[in-house]
Amino acid sequence: MDRFDPIPETALKWHNAGRGACLATVIETWGSAPRRVGSQLAISGDGAIAGSVSGGCVEGAVIVEALEALEDGTMRELEFGVSDADAFAVGLACGGTIRVLVEPLGAVLPVDLMEELVAARAARDPVAVVADLDAGSRRLARSGFETRFRMDRAGFEEDSRTFVTIHNPPLRLVVVGAVHIAQALVPMARIAGYDPILIDPRETFGSEARFPGETILNDWPDEAVETAGLDSRTALVLLTHDPKLDDPALMRALRSGCFYIGALGSTRTHAKRVSRLEEAGFTENEIARIHGPIGLDIGAAGPAEIAVSIMGEMTRVLRRGS
């Protein structure tokens, strides 16, 4: 199941129930701030909260300001210095400063915009909320902020008072080949925030006993990746190095939007793979999307270390691009 913090969904639910709601968003940080820019807290008119904008040290003040914002229907920009004592309490080495934007739903954040945002998140569509804080306007954008989408990076546009909040779908990892490497990679990916899906038509490999609690598709890989879906928040890892299993999924992936494609195998194995894809009509640029041999070159030995190298490469591509 996809996992994400349902902060906008919760705020909209509270508003629609007549309880009133505000969204508080971290818009700038200095020093060792507890939460990154873009982190959000929903506050209801009766003081319920979901999410966070700090490690707990400023939430109380934000709630008070949010309740006042609901009363007068205006946004607020708040600045908090996190003292060394508070920073220590939330596990930081030193203090920091954060700025928080508080926006009441309805009066400042349009309800139809919030409904469209929630629908986009449910459909796994990357979307940004673009707020011109001087003009008071809010809009949704699905393009124009490619670097921000790729890096999950909210923030102010350069030399402006336009703040962009990024709402990306949860990360997914689709693994073809329920082999030993997958047994190490899947739990690592879960820790890193991915929702894994395992694909292997060989039920002896792709079994509940070997991968307890995981989503396993015992279908042919090309059909299974179609079922799983390959979008801009999905990484595909091919671990069988068997052309009968890897190639059908690979051919679907090369013409999809998935951000990472990695294929296990030696340099020689990869060269043969490239030849097969060329014969199948794939272009040089399409084939160049494949990371093969898979993983960062860290001298990995054994399944667990290979899994570490794969996670490292996936992270590098996600955050820095290919």
Element (H or E) spanning 275, and its range? helix 267-279
**Nearest residue to 258 (alpha-carbon basis) of 283, 226, 224, 233:** 233
- Concatenated DSSP letters for 137-169? EEEEESSS-HHHHHHT--EEPTTSSEEEEEEPP
Residue 115, helix vs strand vs coil: helix
Cβ-contact 6, 23 below 8 angstroms: no
Topology of domain 171-320 in CATH is: Rossmann fold (3.40.50)
pLDDT by residue for the chain (322 residues), tens digit each?
345 689 999 999 999 999 999 999 999 998 767 788 999 999 999 999 999 988 777 888 999 999 999 999 999 999 987 665 555 555 454 567 889 999 999 999 999 999 999 999 999 899 999 999 999 999 999 999 988 988 889 999 998 999 999 999 889 999 999 999 999 999 999 999 899 999 999 999 999 999 999 999 999 998 999 888 898 899 999 999 899 999 999 999 999 989 999 999 999 999 999 999 999 999 999 999 999 999 999 999 999 999 999 999 999 998 887 7
Q: List the domain boundaries for the chain.
A: 7-167, 171-320
Distance in angstroms (rounded) separating the CA atoms of residues 239 and 314:
14
